[in-house]
């Protein structure tokens, strides 16, 4: 029997073979879970389209539609008959609201339609992969699929797996992998067992929106995304004090995972005291349940020299065109990271193992499904004491912690328009 990959070595956790076929291979027919995710996406997109119409005082509502392999056609109900050009004038706004590369408006059978492009499915959707892993040890992140089509997992609680450096050029998929790891940890660990801190320092050329921003809505977040370098310094110093408290009290739970993207930028812009706090956390944090996952595109930078390099035993390396950067990231002379393909093609290096894998991906709509489910079954928070770093830093200050409820796609009270579905050739037709 075949075995699942648990961390970077082979374990007999679970088989993924049945009748000679890998269960991981996608089926042609949608599963119930896939249907649910598709319906959720259609509901949210319908709401987003109608919000654009409302902002522009266009009297139109989504009245159903058809899902095709490359696009979704939304039928519109509208009382006006000569509004196609006005609808076409909203193309750019609709594209921005929906986050898609193309939107077309046309008229078919006397009804206006909005055609929304469907992006290609990622090679390894996280929400398709996780149901195939029956049990995960606590504090285990899902990385993706190894070359032999087996899930690759990383257990932060195992000896020698304490902290992680993720490196790669722009476009390698570092930030998406950080998001995947954080979500996979949150989906399989209760809030009372796991807490998250996420930082991503901003710069003048930073995008106003970051793929890590929706993590604010995970119930596991100790505070919202930290982007200010001074505040990041304060929070890391606070976490060092938390580490010292845990050492004195012999406390190891809940685990705290600190995720920092653009890590070298933080080292460049952080306040005095950041590097000592960070070094202490890397040296002693794992002993009391505090782990760091650090991402950068500049692993050879002098600020990331030893001893910091030596304190990051697990390396996840994406495409790095510069061989010097590839060597610094992998700590190997011939990792061949410069030959990786980019777009979530990674090497995982640790415990003497090197495995190539395709990182799992979770898009915005799947993330919203996951967040909705997490908040639906969210139990009351059971923490031994207040762990909000912002509240601890300034006595009496109210927390800026994670917002209540799912993030911007929330549609409480939204009437479901896409209810009955049936297969129709290669298309999925969904009607009221």
d(CA 111, CA 62): 11
| CATH code of the region 126-393 | 3.40.50.300
- In this chain, the answer to whether the domains covering 32-67+71-117 and 126-393 adopt an identical fold is no
Condensed to tens digits (0 to 9), the pLDDT of residues 175-232 reads: 999 999 999 999 889 888 999 999 998 865 555 557 888 898 888 999 889 988 889 9
Cα separation, 255 vs 156, in Å, equals 10
pLDDT in tens, 282-291: 999 999 999 9
What's the rounded Cα separation, in Å, for the pair 164 and 151?
18
Cα–Cα distance, 106 to 370 (Å, whole number): 34
The confidence band for 369, taking pLDDT boundaries of 50, 70 and 90, is confident
Mean pLDDT across 48-54: 90
pLDDT of 348 higher than 70: yes
Residue 156 CB coordination number (10 Å): 25
> Hey, where are the domains in the chain?
32-67+71-117, 126-393
Distance of CA 189 to CAs 195, 251, 423, Å? 9, 18, 37
pTM: 0.76
Smallest CA-to-CA distance from 207 within 268, 132, 262, 160 is with 262
Q: What is the CA radius of gyration of the chain?
A: 23
Average pLDDT on 328-347 reads 79
Model confidence at 411, in pLDDT bands (50, 70, 90)?
Answer: very low
Does 119 or 167 have the greater pLDDT score? 167
- What mean pLDDT do residues 358-380 have? 80
Greater pLDDT, 327 or 24: 327
Q: In this structure, which topology does domain 32-67+71-117 adopt according to CATH? A: 3.30.980
């Amino acid at each position: 029997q075949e075995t699942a990959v648990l961390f970077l070595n082979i374990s007999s956790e679970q088989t993924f073979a049945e009748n000679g076929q890998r269960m991981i291979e996608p089926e042609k027919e949608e599963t119930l879970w896939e249907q649910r995710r598709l319906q959720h996406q259609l509901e949210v997109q319908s709401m987003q389209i109608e919000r654009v119409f409302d902002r522009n005082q266009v009297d139109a509502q989504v009245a159903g539609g058809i899902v095709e392999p490359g696009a979704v056609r939304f039928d519109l109900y509208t009382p006006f008959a000569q509004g196609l050009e006005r609808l076409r004038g909203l193309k750019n706004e609709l594209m921005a609201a929906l986050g898609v590369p193309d939107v077309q408006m046309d008229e078919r059978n006397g009804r206006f339609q909005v055609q929304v492009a469907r992006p290609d499915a990622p090679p390894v959707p996280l929400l398709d992969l996780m149901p195939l892993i029956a049990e995960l040890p606590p504090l285990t992140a899902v990385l993706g699929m190894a070359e032999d089509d087996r899930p690759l997992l990383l257990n932060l609680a195992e000896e020698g797996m304490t902290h992680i450096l993720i490196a790669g050029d722009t476009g390698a998929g570092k930030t998406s992998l950080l998001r995947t790891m954080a979500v996979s940890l949150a989906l399989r660990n209760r809030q009372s067992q796991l807490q998250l801190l996420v930082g991503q320092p901003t710069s003048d050329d930073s995008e106003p929106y970051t793929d890590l921003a929706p993590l604010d809505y995970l119930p596991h977040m100790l505070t919202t995304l930290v982007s200010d370098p001074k505040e990041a310094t304060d929070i890391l110093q606070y976490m060092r004090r938390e580490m010292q408290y845990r050492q004195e009290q012999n406390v190891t739970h809940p685990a705290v995972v600190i995720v920092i993207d653009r890590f070298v930028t933080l080292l460049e812009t952080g306040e005095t005291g950041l590097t000592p706090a960070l070094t202490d956390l890397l040296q002693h944090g794992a002993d009391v349940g505090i782990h760091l996952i650090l991402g950068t595109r500049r692993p050879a930078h002098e600020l990331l020299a030893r001893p910091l390099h030596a304190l990051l035993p697990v390396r996840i390396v994406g495409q790095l065109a510069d061989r010097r950067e590839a060597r610094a990231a992998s700590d190997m002379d011939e990792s061949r990271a410069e030959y990786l393909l980019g777009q979530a093609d990674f090497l995982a290096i640790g415990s003497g193992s090197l495995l190539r894998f395709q990182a799992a991906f979770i898009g915005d709509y799947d993330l919203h499904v996951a967040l909705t489910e997490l908040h639906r079954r969210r139990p009351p928070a059971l923490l031994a004491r207040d762990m909000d770093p912002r509240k601890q830093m300034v006595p009496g200050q109210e927390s800026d912690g994670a917002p209540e409820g799912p993030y911007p796609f929330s549609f409480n009270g939204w009437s479901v328009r896409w209810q009955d579905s049936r297969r129709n050739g290669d298309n999925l037709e969904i009607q009221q």
